[in-house]
Amino acid sequence: MLRNSKSFSSFSVDHLEKAKAFYGEVLGLALKDNPMGILEVHVEGSTPIVIYPKSNHVAASFTMLNFPVQNVEETVSLLTKKGVKFEHYNEPGFRTDDQGIFRGEGPVIAWFKDPAGNILSIIEGA
């Protein structure tokens, strides 16, 4: 029934203008204002992602959006210079290094939050 449906992802933020500045200026993504008062994020090779304002927004406690990159360490360095703060985890079997990069079992990955507290990641070689 939905096999031929072109799906897309969406999530909420508490302040659309802050999201626009973060996703457009800090992350350098292509954005499009939608007449319905939502923001479309365009990533090459993907369906547009919809970001919508929600007055009672609650940030998710899980990764909402992943960005595959060639080199996580290089991308962390570039984003850190733009003011992005990476998450640090220190749990058994799940520790990030001083830069916030996880180099354990599985892919090299680093997590950060948008201004609304939504968790995003950059992941190497995905």
Would you say residue 22 lies in a domain?
A: yes
- CATH number for position 41: 3.10.180.10
Would you say residue 28 lies in a domain?
A: yes
Would you say residue 1 lies in a domain?
A: no
Q: What range defines the domain where residue 55 resides? A: 10-124
Query: Mean pLDDT, to the nearest integer, of 37-57?
Result: 93
pLDDT band per the 50, 70, 90 thresholds, residue 97: very high
pLDDT band per the 50, 70, 90 thresholds, residue 126: low
Would you say residue 73 lies in a domain?
A: yes
pLDDT in tens, 63-92: 999 999 999 999 999 999 999 999 999 988
Rounded to the nearest 10°, the torsion over CA 51, 57, 61, 63 is 0
Between CA 75 and CA 101 the distance in angstroms is 11
Would you say residue 75 lies in a domain?
A: yes
For all residues of the chain together, what is the average pLDDT? 93
Would you say residue 50 lies in a domain?
A: yes
pLDDT in tens, 18-29: 999 999 999 999
- The percent helix, strand, coil of the chain (3-state, each to 5) is 15, 35, 50
pTM of the model: 0.91
pLDDT in tens, 99-124: 999 998 889 999 999 999 999 999 99
Total domains in the chain come to: 1
Would you say residue 105 lies in a domain?
A: yes
